[in-house]
Amino acid sequence: DAKTTQPTSMDCAEGRAANLPCNHSTISGNEYVYWYRQIHSQGPQYIIHGLKNNETNEMASLIITEDRKSSTLILPHATLRDTAVYYCIVRVAERGSNDYKLSFGAGTTVTVRA
């Protein structure tokens, strides 16, 4: 898996958009970008994933640069419940791939403040 680099921590004001950056400069053409989050000691929760197009779902938006070397997760209106560790992971997701696991790094600790 390509390595990812995320800031260790960041603060965000409640009600504002939270923009979480992730660098993955060695990403391969067949590797997807995934985002998960872990609220204190709970099981990680899937947020969103993408290959090269921007993606949006009910939780967040994912913006991937054209060269795919970095991406940004956007939480449009952060709430106190969004305080968590956010993990950016790159992984192959093709049938026949030998890489079946998700490798979690240290992630970004996001604190949403009232």
Partner 1 sequence: DSGVTQTPKHLITATGQRVTLRCSPRSGDLSVYWYQQSLDQGLQFLIQYYNGEERAKGNILERFSAQQFPDLHSELNLSSLELGDSALYFCASSFRSVGTGELFFGEGSRLTVL
- Interface with partner 1 (CB under 8 A), residue from 23, 44, 52, 72: 44
Candidates 11-19, 21-29, 58-66, 104-112; binding stretch for partner 1 (CB under 8 A) = 104-112
Q: Is 7 in the site for partner 1 (CB under 8 A)?
A: no
CB-CB contact of 4 with 31 (8 Å): no
Q: Is 81 in the site for partner 1 (CB under 8 A)?
A: no
Tell me how many degrees the CA angle 20-85-54 measures, rounded to the nearest 5.
Answer: 35
Q: Is 21 in the site for partner 1 (CB under 8 A)?
A: no
Q: Is 45 in the site for partner 1 (CB under 8 A)?
A: yes
Query: What tokens were used for 42?
Result: 């709970």
Q: Minimum distance from CB of 91 to partner 1 (Å)?
A: 6
Q: Please report which residue ranges of 1-114 form alpha helices under DSSP H.
A: none
In whole angstroms, give the CA distance from residue 50 to residue 16: 24
Q: Is 53 in the site for partner 1 (CB under 8 A)?
A: no
40 phi and psi, to 5 degrees?
A: -25, 110
Using CB under 8 A, list all residues that contact partner 1.
32, 34, 36, 38, 41-46, 49, 87, 91-106
